[in-house]
């Protein structure tokens, strides 16, 4: 019986040992995976932030810090080379970060065609001093500002063989320079990544109107009651967008349209504003608005105001844009004289006046004269 009890105890111990072995193995694998995905080994040169989701419009600027976490007191200089995707990013500016506050040897250049950059800084002068100065880390080596120029992702990556933090120490009367941080082992340098694929921005950039003033009401006697309006809309974001366009007179929608635009493209929306049903002559504000659905990532440049236009009687050709304070909404002798001065002209002629083309046939002729005569003396 004693032997049986001993055997059971040995069996339990074997089981416990086996469970512990499995646990340690799993723990070791997890630790291995953790080490593999860690950002960098210390001491290091690295970029912060390590990731940017560029949700603003193309054209936005983002600044990255190049840092070291080295805490020694023998920092003499540094240099680094970076690569980036020039389709997505352009370097705008490189500034000294301040760890080495003397800029005698500061050097920074970039190539936005190739997507490359070289930066270096040190206390060294020419000729070198007997005791070269050093400073202490950690600290900031440089500030780099990029402008987003396209849709996509860009890794901001150090070139390993050309990136190093340099230290100096004295041996007797000789100063020795060595690499505190370099590419051995791999992992001492860590870049960043910018993603602009989610940038969203649509904008309405221009409104044009075929003529002002705009006649309204019954288009009798060769007249017309409409205006041709063009609205230019751009997708300035980094991805295709589906959005709504609305054009207003004051707060009333006169045209509405749903649009689909590829990234970094524009379109011209042309429509005719029919004013034949408008009986309230006066000045109206024309404006346009575009809206992404959902709209939370859009920016504020999706509204435009064309300005006030006069909607008036056919034949009231002297109304101005913008409307003058003395507009009277009346067809009178000044309108007749204005039309007579443009009579016989067509677009491109020196005397051409689109307001006098009442019949909307691209010339000022007898139809326009008849239309003005039919409304002569009429006043709103």
Domain boundaries, the chain: 45-195, 202-326
Pick the closest to residue 359 from 326, 305, 314, 302 (CA basis): 314
CATH topology for 45-195 is: Immunoglobulin-like (2.60.40)
Domains 45-195 and 202-326 share a fold: yes
CA atoms 200, 205, 209, 212: torsion sign:
positive
pLDDT of residue 276: 82
pLDDT at residue 5 tops 60: no
**The most confident of 117-131, 228-242, 325-339, by mean pLDDT:** 228-242
Among the listed ranges 20-34, 271-285, 294-308, which one has the minimum average pLDDT value? Answer: 20-34
pLDDT of residue 239: 74
Query: 146-201, pLDDT tens digit by residue?
Result: 998 887 788 999 988 789 999 988 777 777 888 988 766 545 677 777 776 666 77
pLDDT of residue 21: 40
CATH topology for 202-326 is: Immunoglobulin-like (2.60.40)
Mean pLDDT of 25-49: 54
Which phi and psi angles does 335 have, rounded to 5°? Answer: -65, -40
CA-CA distance, 36 to 367, in Å (whole number)? 84
pLDDT of residue 230: 95
Helices assigned H by DSSP within the chain: 2-37, 333-342, 366-375
* Entry pTM: 0.50
pLDDT of residue 15: 45
pLDDT of residue 56: 64
């Amino acid at each position: 019986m004693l032997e049986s009890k001993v055997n059971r105890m040995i069996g339990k111990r074997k089981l416990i040992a086996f469970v512990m072995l499995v646990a340690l193995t799993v723990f070791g694998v997890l630790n291995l995976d953790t080490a593999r995905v860690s950002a960098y080994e210390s001491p290091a040169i690295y970029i912060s932030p390590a990731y940017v989701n560029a949700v603003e419009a193309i054209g936005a600027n983002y600044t990255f810090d190049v840092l070291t976490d080295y805490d020694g007191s023998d920092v003499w200089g540094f240099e680094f080379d970076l690569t980036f995707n020039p389709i997505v990013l352009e370097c705008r500016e490189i500034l000294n970060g301040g760890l080495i506050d003397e800029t005698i040897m500061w050097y920074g250049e970039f190539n936005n065609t190739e997507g490359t950059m070289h930066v270096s800084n040190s206390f060294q002068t020419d000729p070198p001093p007997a005791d070269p100065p050093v400073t202490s880390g950690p600290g900031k080596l440089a500030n780099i500002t990029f402008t987003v120029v396209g849709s996509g992702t860009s890794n901001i990556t150090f070139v390993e063989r050309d990136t190093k933090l340099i230290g100096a120490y004295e041996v007797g009367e000789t100063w020795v320079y060595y690499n505190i941080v370099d590419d051995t082992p791999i992992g001492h340098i860590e870049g960043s990544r910018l993603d602009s694929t989610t940038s969203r921005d649509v904008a309405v950039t221009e409104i044009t109107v075929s003529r002002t003033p705009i006649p309204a009401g019954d288009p009798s006697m060769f007249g017309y009651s409409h205006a041709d309006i063009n609205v230019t809309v751009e997708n300035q974001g980094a991805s295709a967008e589906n959005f709504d366009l609305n054009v207003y007179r004051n707060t009333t929608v006169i045209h509405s349209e749903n649009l689909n635009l590829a990234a970094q493209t524009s379109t011209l929306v042309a429509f005719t504003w029919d004013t034949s049903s408008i009986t309230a002559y006066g000045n109206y504000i024309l404006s346009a608005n575009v809206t992404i659905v959902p709209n939370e990532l859009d920016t504020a440049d999706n509204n435009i105001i064309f300005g006030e236009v006069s909607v008036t009687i056919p034949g009231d050709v002297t109304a101005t844009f913008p409307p003058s304070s003395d507009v009277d909404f009346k067809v009178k002798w000044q309108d007749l004289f204005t039309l007579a001065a443009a009579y016989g002209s067509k677009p491109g002629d020196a005397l051409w006046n689109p307001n006098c083309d009442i019949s909307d046939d691209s010339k000022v002729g007898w139809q326009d004269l008849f239309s003005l005569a039919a409304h002569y003396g009429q006043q709103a």
